[in-house]
Every structure is written in C-alpha cells, then in structure tokens.
Structure 1
C-alpha cells in the first residue's frame, strides 16, 4: 500500500503522475509515505495495479486516515482481501479541485474501479466482493443486519443532553441484543471468521468506545462480556490497527455534534 496526503497547493511533487479526466495530478513529496506489503499472487493476476482510494485525512497527524468509519470499512475490506491499494488522504475542510472532479459531492470514500470513480461504502464493498471473491467476506443475508442499529442509538445517546430521555437505555438494549447473539453465534457475526458485517460494525464500535468514553465518561458495561470480547478481538486484528483513526481524530470529529 502506498499512501498519499493530497494538498491543494504545493511546489514539491513526486516524479510519477496520475492522470484523471484529461489532466495530470501531482502529489506532494513532503507529505508522502510509502508502505509495502506482500501481495497475494492470485490477486496480482487479477489486478496488477493498486486500487486508488480516497479517504478522509487525519487532522492530527500526517499520512494517517481520519475519523470516517465508512472509509475504514473499505480499507478493512481491502486489507482482509490482501488487495494492494494507493490511499489518497483528502483534507475535507479544504477539498482540492482534483478531488471534487472525481467526487462532485465531496464525499469519501471513493474508489477507482475499472476506470470509474465510485462512491458509497455499501456499493464499494459489494463490488470488491464481486471482483475479488477470494477470500470471501460475504455475510449470509439472515445475519447481515446483526448489530445494525447500534450506531444510530450510539449517536442518539452521544448527542443527548437529557439523562432521562431513554437514549442510554436504547443503546444498552441494542448492545444487549448483540451480546446475546455473539454468545450463541460468535466469536464473529458469521461464526469463526470475520465477514463483511464485522468490517462494517467494528469501526462504528471503535467510535462508540472513544467518543462515549471522552464525552460521557461511559463505557460498555462489564456485564456485556461478549460485546467486550468481540471488540477486543476485532480491534486487535492487524488490519484494524493499520486502518484505524487516531483517538484524537475521533474525539475531534464528534465534537461539533456533541457541542452543537
């Protein structure tokens, strides 16, 4: 994987260039870090060039992805499938012109597949599964929605100013339901192996842990031992550690929603 942090103005560029829509992009050397990983030979046969993906940049540290759980979901998918990729880090507070040409709405993640730039983590991960089916990450339809309400109830509790409005209990209900499910079906949503549903949920649980810990001094109760074990297991995976946002980025990212 090679990582590029893209800024709108610079006089220092790496020697190679990338062309998009008839114009040439040059990326700044001073904020450019290159990472390499062993490539799976079967994947190389299907795709010799790294996939280009644009994700939110950290506001805290150079050459680190920012606090977008949907971006991390896509990065996790590529890591778990051992796909080589070029990660382009975009400052969303000062979006460069080239980025707005490939993502007119200014949203991330966007990925280049078969010469087309595609948005939306749902669409991207589905297409990655279709194009690179090995190793499979498909979650059976009857399990795909497990834990899907946790993120929205987390946001409701995080934004709440009234301790008695029921938002904490709503979150606890969803976490309890997930705890019971993992107890009977775990350690992951589809059993022994990580699947697409885990890669969608895990970044959201990471945000939950950090944001609620910081803003509400709240943590998942010890009684929900299977939720805590699930989080520990998936947060310790190499693919997760490699793609996670810094805690400071997560805290900064949620600040406007908490403070209004």
Structure 2
C-alpha cells in the first residue's frame, strides 16, 4: 500500500473554538480510489465538529478527483456545494476521490450513473446535490442554512447563461448580453436585499451559487478574456465575500482544474 501525502488547508471555526477549547478534535482521513479499486491512505485532515451535530463518525463523500494534480479535489461545483454545507455545519467528512475518467467498479455499483457528489447517510448512498443538501439540513439543522422559498431561486439563471456564453462561437448571438442581464438582475437584488441572498447570513442558496460564480470567473476569464463589469459592484462584492470564506477556501477546486474541466465544452 502506498501513502500519498496531501498538504491540507487549515480549517478553524471560530464559533466552535470557544466552546470546544480543550477537547480533542477528530481527525479525518482522505481515501483515493483508482480504477482497480486500490485504496491509498492520505494524512488525516482535522475538522471541528459542532456540539449540535454530535456526529461521531465522519460522513463518507464521493468526490471528483483532480485531473491536473494528483490527490486533489476536482472541479465539480455541485460537489463543492455539498462540501460547503458540511463545512458550514461543521460536520466531519471523509472524501473518497474518484477518477471519473476511469470509474472503478465499486463506484459504479453505488452510483450507476457514475456521477458525483454522493454521500452516505444512514447506511445509504444518496446522490444529487439538491437531495443531499436538503437531507443534511433535516438531519443536522444547526446552524440553519435554509433559504426561504421565495428567495431560493435568486441567481439561479446565471449558471445556464454563463454556460451558453462560454460555449458560444458567435459574438453577436446575444449570449453575452443574456448573461449580463441576469447578473444585473442579481446585482439589483443584492443592492436591496444583500449582502447575501437571505440578507446578512449565508444560506443554502449562496452555497449553491458561489461555486458556479467561481467557475464563471475563471472559465470566462481564461477562454473569453471576459470579466464581470465594475458597474456590477454588488455582485463583485458578493463574490469576494463568498470566495474568502474559510469553508470556500477549504473546498474550492484548483484554477487549473476549472480551466481543464470546461475545455471539452469550449472546444466542442
């Protein structure tokens, strides 16, 4: 068995440190799986567990493995949404890195469609970031991340507009303007209701939109030399706030992975 060394990023949660001072924190272990189901053990990463959650066993999460850097998290924004939820709720988790270009048999048995994210809850493997985050909210309600129904879809049209513009080969096909229109709507919303979608506190909607805006910023910057206009100052401030959260830093994909992940769609 080979050992793969991974340098983890620091994960400290100020809200928990006050009441967990002096308590030995659980240390988690990353597991990387390859197509022949060989299992590699990596140095353990520490996470703080909230007292409300009282979770003794780390939750197992199947995630995309980086395609540019061995033993790093890949570029799936839907997986990051799940990991952000776990981080914000201060739940311990054990990431299983899966090579999606050469999926192992064990993974296809628990995920017939071969998709991530996938999480094990109550001894059952649960797919789909929508279902997973809802299940986590119900099972671990503290701290609450629920977005009110009337705000849950705020910003939801930005991602498909971004994808359409990124894939476009015709500068005059209106895809750029369609994206700008959605970003402007979101900017106006934040101006009146921000700084986050549900006001002053981060909620599930932010954890869903944040990773998509991260992909938007990197992919459009690289492939289109395009960036969000300075006139959309509330959107830019929102992105800065989300991207600087420790939970986001701990779970973001490498820039190189985002670029390579979108390359097939851009190049056709």
Give the alignment's TM-score, normalised by structure 2: 0.88
Structure 2 residue matching 1:41: 3-state secondary structure: coil
2:103 aligned to 92, 95, 104, which one? Answer: 95
Instruction: Give the superposition deviation at 1:209.
Output: 0.1
Structure 1 stretches of 4+ with a deviation exceeding 3 A read none
Correspondence list, 1:66-215, <5 A: 66-215=74-223
Rounded to whole Å, the distance in 2 between the matches of 1:7 and 1:34 is 19
Distance 1:127 1:203 in 2: 20
Residue 130 of structure 1 and its aligned partner are, at CA, apart by 0.3
Alignment partner for residue 28 of structure 1, among 35, 40, 44? 40
Q: CA deviation at 1:38?
A: 2.2
CA RMSD after TM alignment: 1.1
Matches of 2:207 and 2:216 in 1, distance apart?
A: 15
Q: Within 1, Cα distance between the matches of 2:126 and 2:248? A: 23
Picking from 29, 32, 41, the partner of 1:5 is 32
Q: Is the 8 A contact 1:158 1:258 kept in 2?
A: yes
Tell me the equivalent position of 2:256.
248
- Point out where structure 2 has 5 or more consecutive residues left out of the alignment: 1-27
- CA–CA separation in structure 2 for the residues paired with 1:248 and 1:139: 32
Cα contact 1:33–1:63 (8 A) shared by 2: no
Calculate the TM-score normalised by the size of structure 1. 0.90
Give the superposition deviation at 1:9: 3.2
Q: What is the deviation of 1:55?
A: 0.8
> 2: CA distance between counterparts of 1:38 and 1:197?
23
Q: Is the 8 A contact 1:53 1:88 kept in 2?
A: yes
- Does structure 1 residue 39 correspond to structure 2 residue 66? no
What SS does the aligned partner of 2:39 have?
coil
* Structure 1: 5+ residue stretches without partners: 11-25
How many angstroms apart in 1 are the aligned matches of 2:185 and 2:235? 10
**Aligned residue-pair number:** 241
Contact 1:137–1:195 under 8 Å retained in 2: yes
